[in-house]
Structure 1
Amino acid sequence: MPLIGIYIAVASLFCILAMVADLIHGLRNRKLWFPCKTFTLNAASLTVIAVAMKLPVDLSNPMRGVADQIAKIGSMAFLCTMMANLLPSLATMNSKELLTNIIALDILVITLIVNVCIQIYTDVIGDPADDFTILVKIMALSYVAMLLILLIIHTCSGLTILKSKQIIDLKYQAGHETSLKDLELQQPGRLTAEKLQQHVKNHWIMAGTGSPQFITACSATTSASGVICVVSTILYAYMLVSMIIDDESLLDYKSDYKGSILVILIIQFSGSLVGTIAPLCRCYAALSFKLSIKWIWNHIKVFKVESYWTQKLYDWKRSSIPFSVSSRKIKIFIQNFKVIFLIICIGLQMTVVVACKMIALIPIFFVICGLFCIWCWKWFKTMFSASSIVEGQNPEQQENFNGLRRYVLQLQDDMELSKRTLKSISKSANRLIKKAEKQQPSNLVKLLRESKGFEGVGKHDSLHIPPLFAQDYPDCWSLPLVTLTAIAISLPKIQNNIVDRLLSSVSEGLAYVTLVEESLNANDEYVSIQKAAKVLWLEVEVSNKWVGVNLKNHAPEVNTAGLILQWFKNTVKNMVTEVQVIDIKSANDNSIYQSICANSMYRITESILFSYHTNIDELSQEDLFTELSSMIADILAACLTNLPQVVVTKCHERVIEKRESSVNATVQLLGETTQIINNLQDRELPDLNPAELPFIDKWRDYFNCLSP
């Protein structure tokens, strides 16, 4: 039994660590409403919680010691804390996951409540002859009530979340269209980094204020659960202090769990204290994000229950029964019973919402005091700061915030996000962009500066080269880059540091090239080529090999640029005789990989040999390396002119649960590539349709047609 006690303590510790991870994540990202990232409601967390709740559901083991009794009741307080922490995670689930997890949580909590009630009735918890244990029995009943309220709150929140997502999603789509129109009006031509920043920031505001967890964390139910969590922790601390005052009670454990009871008690009490931070901060955030006289007045009108709280139940009420019944009388009975049952549920839902709004009024006074102290501190700093600028006096900044306010997503149209919160969300985007700008790919930027145009896109693959196979392969951006780099690596007279610098530049560039390909030309016919390029690059970068051929292992007589190119050409021809070309849309086996790579190498080497023809013997390795580097730089530059379109595409995410992380990644991308976008801004693009710019074969054909 002591080992089982340690098992319970370890399970409790896992829950605490997950809650701490969410605290750290919220603090690092300055999200003081602490979204659930690690500690979420799922099968794994419910299993661990069930293990941690072993003491309250234990009917067979008499626990007459004071420490035993408090540990058993303290587990219920710990569960109250965990449930309050888990509430926002409901917003990350779809309807099926929500239903499954809510039912599982209901079963767990109801089982615990029933077992505790049995123990109270049979005096396993509490002893009528002992005043202290009578207090324990009262505490147990209090925790039963709090757990039941929290369970109802979770169920009611689950009914609201799905409708809330639909409302927010419709408003997001409208905001996205508005942002696109603004982008076209502000910059009808090519997109600048400044305009992209504004476009991304608009989506950052929508993703932040329209985050399902943010909306749930700011709701009345979350505020009420936070208040209950604080009350449960205070009661737990009171019991523990009462035990500590009586020194003998501290070691009064009489159950079979023996000393492990103290370990459980210490860990779960620590978890209750730590776990109270997030619900308390969410309670503060829910008020401070919207706090105003108007908001307080609307909130005090507690009998006003917004439609989204009950809309799902009304939809079910109006729908028909989801199964067929042969008897008309039975069908009428079931339909009427369903309507009556749902009317009761609607009334209960409205009662819960009103009660939660009432409970949420409790911390308003403390929040107002806290905000007043913050305001006084800022005023004090302003008075003694010579360079301070009074907020609101900058017309440009004021106009910017008014523009951003159009993209704030709220469930209620009559509510308004506070200026302080909007400013904080906007600043978080600026901070991330500034941080990302410090991580710009320096080697890639230097390589792109060596490129003056895009002519290398046409040089690498001439239209005069006959196809190697009867069925020619389409081309993508990444494959010729890898092939050209493989040839450059094979030149023995080039210094290693120069080759390494080129490798680093191409490696940095391919990360963004892949984004262009995945975002703008992920057609089925290109997917196999892109996969082959990824596999080939791993081989080239790590092993200095091309399709198994060692790039550094030439014959001694192969020592000029022309002979090295001819060596690659002969290697490809020898490979072709062994490869049976099949449809690239079928399985991506080794023969397809070899034929794709061979086709690319053949066309590139033949194009270079053709462009120099009679002067090939005069071409030195240094000149060839310079020519290869120039073509690589030109291809990278041409591909990366599509980065603005990638940014616009990637910041729009249709799935609401993934929207915030998608915009976060886009902001990071924009910060990293701002210098690249600015450097390529002034280059004249080929006369192509904008829809053709993401495809290298369109660029190649354009420049080849210009050549004589």
Structure 2
Amino acid sequence: MDSKLNDDYSQFNRYVMSCNNITQKYMSHLWTAVYQSDRQNQYSKPLPWIGIYIALASLFCIVAMVADLLHGFHNRKLWFPCKYFTLNAASLTVIAVTIKLPMDLTNLMPGDVDRTAKLGSLSFMCTIMANLLPSLATMGSKELVSNMIALGILVITLVVNVCIEINSGVLSYLGDDDDFFHIMSELGALPVGYAGGQEFLAANYVGMLLMLLIIYACSSFAILKSKQILESKYQAAHQIALKDLELLQLGRLSVEKLKQHVSNYWIMAATGSPQFMTVCSATTSASGVICAYSTALHIYMMPYDLQGLRDYKTNYKWSMLVILVIQFFGVILGTIVPLSRCFVALSFKLSVKWIWNHIKVFKVESYWTQKLYDWKKRSIPFPLSSRNAKIWLKAMFSASDIVLVQNSEHSRKDKDLSRYVLQLQDDMEFAERTLKGISKSVNRLIQKAEKQPPKNLMKLLAESRGFEGVEKFDSQYVPSLISEEHHNCWSLPLVTLTAITISFSNIPKDIVDGLLSGMYEGLVYVTLVEESFNATDEHGSIQKVAKTLWLEVEVHHEWLGNKLPKLMNTAGQTLRWLRDTAKNIVTEVESMDIGVSNDNSTYRSISANSMYRITETLLLSYHDHVSQEELVVQLSSMIADIMAACLTNFPRVIAMKCHAREIEKREVSVLAAAKLLGETTQIINTIQDCELPNLNPDELAFIDKWHAYLKHRFP
């Protein structure tokens, strides 16, 4: 009996000990769970601020999209070119931040706001891609390939992550009531916005993102070939424009001819714009439709998902609501541009006849598949060791030949405007109102610029008495002080004469200010003339000297570091001081060792030699009997004569500026030419009546040619 009691007691002790072990293990696990939860909360504290970072990145994208919208309205380009929001390394980095929520594989989204914000980021990504599509046309081949690879990696990564979340059930997790809501959803008692409906929405967005990526790839192939087609047609139209204006035979161009010339090039630049070409393509319209569907889906689901605006349960906390609101407005605003592009493409490009022809026969234009065709003809740049792979790839390229349709040449009517229209398809006709609208847009810019003429320059040019000053500013009897002769330029004698003029003590301040203001405005146009025609290295070095010297004269009223004299009583004293100072500077520079010579010494010697020759010429012409006031009048007239002679070349500058070699810069170049034409219309009309030297147009661009001609004409 005692042994039995001992056994029972032993069993009881073992039971008590086992219970203690279980309790101990349970308490240990509980403590570990509490500790891990506390540490997790510590690690999750920065997440709301990360959410704000996501919201700010989204806001940056929205501001850029709105900027493009406003830019389109301001310039009356309702196809909204991508100027501020473009595809590049910076924008891709920002976009990667905006889609962080759907990239997150582990964080559960049990709240209504959480789930909606996560799916809303996918809709926002669709909107971003639809807005960015035309920016592909602004890139070169290498840049286009690199950006497409980067975008493809980003989109594919996003799609893969969302697919994983769909499979793992992260998107449909509803928190504590997860099982209840799943049962109610299967019974049809809840709308699609709950439970499995999240996976359905995510699958839709995945499909749209993949379609947009395919559209991007197709557009890239088309853009590469389309630019070549537009370039060849632009060169043909460029030759027509040159013949129409007879630029090679005429030395002088009237304002009316220039306006017509600018208008012709504006039509070429506007219709041949790579972005305009892309906007008018079917891919852009398709991206707009996808964007609209994505937006409609997001708006439709908002009432179902947002049971309460404070229902956010993730570690992002209140920042989820900020992300949701900002990206929702981004989706709404961002849809305006893609939809507008769809409607504008139809009104700008398509005629009823063209639509009917393409409805009757399915037709794929050659520029969509030409790049693949070119790759087929050349050696394939991919290392394919498998014979079956090579056969499959060649078969794919051969299949593209089936849809490679070459357009037949169609004769078009020789209209003044239509012959400058650049289009990929010869059987497509622009609406007449479209061409008139394009032409009117540049005319409005010219008229606007006409209201802002360079008034101070016009006052300065009013003092011109012809072109005699071009011959009088430099005498053949004055030797050069420097051993190496340099060709002269328009700006250096103008700056030197201005420095001499403002150095006289009796000249009123208002005359000084007026002269400096007129020179400031005039040198802008003089520089354009020199850059257009005097583009050699030697001329460029002289022009650089003039620019540096002008900064001294205009800002500091100094010349080569010397304060301009204001205490001389007579004009002769001032001229002699400037002459002697210039001679000393040249002597100092010439005496330096060759090894010590640098850009500064060259600048000082050229500037000083110009001052010496001009002051010595003035002393030979006027001596000491002329007063400061009389000499200022003579110098102002001389400056105006040189300025006017230089600006006789400005119509040709405007005509040349209409043409740009790079297709992406042609619109900007023509707009700059139109603005210059408007600003200088009155000046061109004034100079138009002056008798020019008997020189060919190319020689008129050089002051040395003018000086030599006038010197022999008036010996």
Same fold (TM over 0.5): yes
Quickly say closer, same or farther: Cα 1:462–1:186, change in 2 above 3 A.
Answer: closer
Select which of 640, 644, 649 maps to 2:647.
Answer: 640
Corresponding letter in the other structure for 2:630: D
Unaligned runs of 5+ in 1: 351-399
| Residue pair 1:454, 1:638 contacting (<8 A) in 2 also | yes
Cα deviation, 1:222-266, whole Å, max 9, x if unaligned, reads 00000110110111111112234x3x3x32211110110000000
Q: Distance in 1 between matches of 2:382 and 2:54?
A: 44
What is the Cα deviation at residue 190 of structure 1? 2.2
Select which of 56, 60, 73 maps to 2:106.
Answer: 60
- Once structures 1 and 2 are overlaid, which stretch shifts more, 124-133 or 229-238? 124-133
Corresponding letter in the other structure for 1:153: I
What is the Cα deviation at residue 447 of structure 1? 1.8
**Mapped pair 1:547 → 2:602:** no
Match of 1:321, SS state, is coil
Within a 5 Å distance, the mapping from 1:256-295 to structure 2 comes to 256-295=315-354
| Residue pair 1:473, 1:599 contacting (<8 A) in 2 also | no
What is the Cα deviation at residue 577 of structure 1? 2.6
Select which of 204, 217, 225 maps to 1:163.
Answer: 225
Q: Distance in 1 between matches of 2:706 and 2:576?
A: 27
| Residue pair 1:317, 1:338 contacting (<8 A) in 2 also | no
User: What residue is the counterpart of 2:28 in the other structure?
Assistant: none
Select which of 271, 274, 282 maps to 1:220.
Answer: 282
**Mapped pair 1:173 → 2:235:** yes
User: What residue is the counterpart of 2:94 in the other structure?
Assistant: 48
Cα deviation, 1:639-664, whole Å, max 9, x if unaligned, reads 00001110111111110011110111
Select which of 592, 596, 599 maps to 2:606.
Answer: 596
User: What residue is the counterpart of 2:197 in the other structure?
Assistant: 135
Select which of 264, 282, 305 maps to 2:364.
Answer: 305
| Residue pair 1:290, 1:418 contacting (<8 A) in 2 also | yes
Q: Distance in 2 between matches of 1:549 and 1:186?
A: 46
User: What residue is the counterpart of 1:340 in the other structure?
Assistant: 395
Q: Distance in 2 between matches of 1:597 and 1:583?
A: 19
| Residue pair 2:82, 2:132 contacting (<8 A) in 1 also | yes
User: What residue is the counterpart of 1:27 in the other structure?
Assistant: 73
User: What residue is the counterpart of 2:544 in the other structure?
Assistant: 531
Q: Distance in 1 between matches of 2:572 and 2:321?
A: 80
User: What residue is the counterpart of 1:677 in the other structure?
Assistant: 684
User: What residue is the counterpart of 2:695 in the other structure?
Assistant: 688
Quickly say closer, same or farther: Cα 1:684–1:308, change in 2 above 3 A.
Answer: same
Corresponding letter in the other structure for 1:606: E
Corresponding letter in the other structure for 1:419: E
Q: Distance in 2 between matches of 1:324 and 1:74?
A: 41
What is the Cα deviation at residue 405 of structure 1? 1.2
Within a 5 Å distance, the mapping from 1:474-513 to structure 2 comes to 474-513=487-526
Corresponding letter in the other structure for 1:415: M
Quickly say closer, same or farther: Cα 1:67–1:543, change in 2 above 3 A.
Answer: same
- Once structures 1 and 2 are overlaid, which stretch shifts more, 110-119 or 531-540? 531-540
Q: Distance in 2 between matches of 1:581 and 1:336?
A: 77
User: What residue is the counterpart of 1:251 in the other structure?
Assistant: 310
Match of 1:314, SS state, is helix
Q: Distance in 1 between matches of 2:282 and 2:401?
A: 17
What is the Cα deviation at residue 340 of structure 1? 3.3
Select which of 437, 441, 451 maps to 2:464.
Answer: 451
Q: Distance in 2 between matches of 1:588 and 1:637?
A: 34
| Residue pair 1:83, 1:150 contacting (<8 A) in 2 also | yes
Q: Distance in 2 between matches of 1:334 and 1:583?
A: 71
Cα deviation, 1:7-26, whole Å, max 9, x if unaligned, reads 00000000000001101110
Match of 1:63, SS state, is coil
Within a 5 Å distance, the mapping from 1:286-435 to structure 2 comes to 286-301=345-360, 303-322=362-381, 336-343=391-398, 402-435=415-448
Q: Distance in 2 between matches of 1:606 and 1:523?
A: 29
What is the Cα deviation at residue 341 of structure 1? 4.7
Within a 5 Å distance, the mapping from 1:81-120 to structure 2 comes to 81-120=127-166
Quickly say closer, same or farther: Cα 1:51–1:323, change in 2 above 3 A.
Answer: closer
Within a 5 Å distance, the mapping from 1:234-249 to structure 2 comes to 234-244=296-306, 246=307, 248=308
Corresponding letter in the other structure for 1:162: L
Cα deviation, 1:420-471, whole Å, max 9, x if unaligned, reads 2111111101100000101110111122122121010011111111111111
Q: Distance in 2 between matches of 1:296 and 1:517?
A: 50
Quickly say closer, same or farther: Cα 1:346–1:237, change in 2 above 3 A.
Answer: farther
| Residue pair 1:528, 1:588 contacting (<8 A) in 2 also | no
Q: Distance in 2 between matches of 1:412 and 1:671?
A: 34
What is the Cα deviation at residue 174 of structure 1? 0.7
Percent of matched pairs sharing the same residue: 64
Q: Distance in 2 between matches of 1:8 and 1:99?
A: 28
Corresponding letter in the other structure for 1:597: S
Match of 1:617, SS state, is coil
Cα deviation, 1:587-623, whole Å, max 9, x if unaligned, reads 96211111111111111111111223xxx11110011
Unaligned runs of 5+ in 2: 1-46, 174-181, 405-412
User: What residue is the counterpart of 2:83 in the other structure?
Assistant: 37
**Mapped pair 1:629 → 2:657:** no
Q: Distance in 2 between matches of 1:401 and 1:445?
A: 41
Select which of 653, 656, 669 maps to 1:649.
Answer: 656
Cα deviation, 1:176-213, whole Å, max 9, x if unaligned, reads 11011111299956210100110110000000000000
User: What residue is the counterpart of 2:34 in the other structure?
Assistant: none
Match of 1:59, SS state, is coil
Match of 1:470, SS state, is coil
Corresponding letter in the other structure for 1:298: N
Cα deviation, 1:657-698, whole Å, max 9, x if unaligned, reads 111101110110111111111101111111112211100011
Cα deviation, 1:259-313, whole Å, max 9, x if unaligned, reads 1000000000000011001101100111011343212213424620010110000
Match of 2:195, SS state, is helix
What is the Cα deviation at residue 706 of structure 1? 2.3
Q: Distance in 1 between matches of 2:713 and 2:527?
A: 28
| Residue pair 1:401, 1:423 contacting (<8 A) in 2 also | no
| Residue pair 1:581, 1:591 contacting (<8 A) in 2 also | no
| Residue pair 1:168, 1:409 contacting (<8 A) in 2 also | yes
What is the Cα deviation at residue 406 of structure 1? 1.0
Return the TM-score normalized by structure 2.
0.87
Quickly say closer, same or farther: Cα 1:214–1:559, change in 2 above 3 A.
Answer: same
Select which of 562, 565, 572 maps to 1:562.
Answer: 572
Quickly say closer, same or farther: Cα 1:663–1:582, change in 2 above 3 A.
Answer: farther
Match of 1:575, SS state, is helix
| Residue pair 1:569, 1:601 contacting (<8 A) in 2 also | yes
Quickly say closer, same or farther: Cα 1:503–1:496, change in 2 above 3 A.
Answer: same
- Once structures 1 and 2 are overlaid, which stretch shifts more, 673-682 or 296-305? 296-305
Select which of 619, 630, 633 maps to 1:609.
Answer: 619
User: What residue is the counterpart of 1:703 in the other structure?
Assistant: 710
What is the Cα deviation at residue 142 of structure 1? 0.4
Corresponding letter in the other structure for 1:16: I
User: What residue is the counterpart of 1:666 in the other structure?
Assistant: 673
| Residue pair 1:451, 1:637 contacting (<8 A) in 2 also | yes
| Residue pair 2:552, 2:558 contacting (<8 A) in 1 also | yes
**Mapped pair 1:153 → 2:215:** yes
| Residue pair 1:448, 1:637 contacting (<8 A) in 2 also | yes
Quickly say closer, same or farther: Cα 1:322–1:186, change in 2 above 3 A.
Answer: closer
Return the TM-score normalized by structure 1.
0.88
Quickly say closer, same or farther: Cα 1:431–1:125, change in 2 above 3 A.
Answer: same
- Once structures 1 and 2 are overlaid, which stretch shifts more, 598-607 or 295-304? 295-304
Match of 1:75, SS state, is helix
Q: Distance in 2 between matches of 1:637 and 1:183?
A: 23
Cα deviation, 1:559-590, whole Å, max 9, x if unaligned, reads 21111000001111221232148999x99621
Q: Alignment RMSD, CA only?
A: 2.3
| Residue pair 2:466, 2:690 contacting (<8 A) in 1 also | yes
Match of 1:410, SS state, is coil
**Mapped pair 1:192 → 2:261:** no
**Mapped pair 1:9 → 2:22:** no
User: What residue is the counterpart of 1:369 in the other structure?
Assistant: none
